Chain A
């Protein structure tokens, strides 16, 4: 008879799944702690809020990427879709004089459709996500350039107003609209992952796709939806990015997909799929942000040390994941 202590009747499980996430949070706390001690002015609310403000778009993209990676896939087109979104927005607003409220729904629809198309190709023809999203990346950036080769600056009043909007949080700290959107997306993503059938199916597919099929789960439909969500998140991130940069340009967000993947991995999601939390990606983004902030605070280190540190963090987390997987096998 296998007896066990009665589990607390809550949603939170204290089990091996949380270990990677706990590790990530620990890294963040340690880094923040070190920074606060080492650099003057580091330990301030605004510095931490800036982590979120400056990386709001990365956060949103990260949520979409989390779903994709949880299902066992990968999406290399996110950065390109952000650029495409900024370009379409800028062109519509500046050249065609559309309003913000008309532009945003359109670009979101474009992003979702783009993602759905890639997801359909992957599912219907059993193509590898890596190559399909790679082609998607080429396509999206190319479409950017078809619209305009040079950057288009946005001078529309509404855009500028939203871009400069700061919501005061008291004690001199403030937050942007983009950051709020990012937090909302994270919360929504976490809820979807935990409390909906779709979310649970994503986990199941990542854990063992053959089993998920045999268990009667809607694998095909879910996979297409996952990439649709990623496309939508990329577009939403693009909207936030447009507020941030106030321009549309084909060279925006180059290499962002790698940062997104890094944030997801560092956030505790296994690249093989099936294990991870959306909240973890938020922490992953914050870690990436804090590394950047520490390096700029330090002043003595050149900014490209960020790339190296991110690479090192990614390596450490991947090795840990490998060891974790080996022990479970």
Chain B
């Protein structure tokens, strides 16, 4: 039992279970699953579906935070990638051989690659600023966060671009084996990262850099290169999330897509047990964190409280988590709880 309690994923998992229980208590039909229109239907499925983009961003953010960095530009990257794909696909209704079909400006595969390449480039930009120029990560990514929105709006011409292309909708709306396709995308990225972390030395190096960059350097680890790669991947994951989101809403909104997503992602990572100071990390924890946040939103809604209260609750959660992660706080609590024995000299 002790072993179980001390497992790093215990608390995030317990929180999730608690939230689900509360949700089920207020919402009797919560756990119900129905098979309709060829796929599963239910509140749980909803949560999974909506958490997928956040989970993607959180996975990327985990690696950055593990190296003692941060990336607050992910929201802007989401918007940019959504804009690129919307532009490149566009979509019109055309009559071909008497049948109405959607036609896209570029082959969908090309458009997807292009959008992801642009996202990766954003990550490269961030990574170079942090690793080569030596800027503080928050400032380096702040620049892209500010300018990136402008770029996204530039691409979309300030309009909300609607996409008319059925095959593209599959990403965010389709179902595979009864489950939303977006979940599969998130799972695929998670699986790839997991493979990379466990089958290559990447996980070891990232942790080493986060725990002790000086010692890593002495040991011969290429910390600069790895740092750049980590930022590239984070932006790439945000790009994938952008594709899923724009597919889901069938449009790209340069202004609002991905807004406040960086904050949710950071919150998900911290909830999952990865400390902002870097070092040991858990991608699974971040995924759990994303699920927790989504369940929280859903729970609040089901209780009947207006969804805007979400923010106050999130704030409370962040306060609690960061206090628990602070050594000074734990010491202060211990000092209050453990009263010194009378007569002890000091």
Contacts and interface: CB of A to CB of B under 8 A. Distances in A.
A and B touch in the complex (CB under 8 A): yes
Interface of A: 74, 121, 124-128, 130-132, 134-139, 141-143, 145-146, 149, 250, 254, 258, 261-262, 265, 271-272, 302-312, 314-315, 318-319, 322
B322 interface: yes
Contacts of A250: 308
Contact of A308 (B133, B151, B158, B327): B151
A305 B323 contact: no
A304 B148 CA distance: 10
A196 B84 CA distance: 52
A305 B306 contact: no
A220 to B, nearest CB: 12
Given A314-B143, A322-B133, 14 more contacts: A74-B138, A125-B323, A138-B263, A142-B311, A142-B312, A149-B306, A265-B139, A303-B158, A305-B154, A308-B150, A311-B143, A311-B146, A318-B140, A322-B134
B17 interface: no
Interface centre among A142, A271, A304, A306 (most CB of B within 10 A): A304
B188 interface: no
B309 interface: yes
Interface of B: 70, 133-136, 138-140, 142-151, 153-154, 157-158, 254, 259, 263, 266, 270, 276, 306, 308-316, 318-319, 322-323, 326-329, 332
Contact of B263 (A74, A121, A134, A314): A134
Nearest to A312: B147
Contacts of A125: 323, 326, 328-329, 332
Contacts of A322: 133-135
8 contacts: A131-B276, A138-B314, A145-B312, A304-B149, A304-B150, A311-B148, A314-B146, A319-B133
Chain A contact surface mostly: helix
B153 A307 contact: yes
B308 A126 contact: no
Contacts of B136: 271-272
B158 to A, nearest CB: 6
B142 A127 contact: no
Interface centre among B150, B254, B259 (most CB of A within 10 A): B150
B309 A145 contact: yes
A272 B314 CA distance: 29
A314 B142 contact: yes
A124 B322 CA distance: 13
Contacts of A304: 149-150, 153-154, 158, 254
Contacts of A314: 142-143, 146-147
Contact of A315 (B143, B151, B157): B143
Contacts of A74: 138
A142 B313 CA distance: 8
B146 A310 contact: yes
A131 to B, nearest CB: 5
Given A125-B326, A134-B266, A302-B158, A142 B315 contact: yes
Contacts of B135: 318, 322
B224 to A, nearest CB: 16
A103 B143 CA distance: 37
A125 B321 CA distance: 13
A138 B312 contact: yes
B276 A128 contact: yes
A177 to B, nearest CB: 30
Contact of B311 (A141, A271, A272): A141
Nearest to A148: B308
B312 A143 contact: yes
Contacts of B146: 258, 262, 307, 310-311, 314
Given A126-B326, A302-B157, A307-B153, A146 B309 contact: yes
A135 B138 contact: no
Nearest to A316: B143
Contacts of B309: 142, 145-146
A139 B322 contact: no
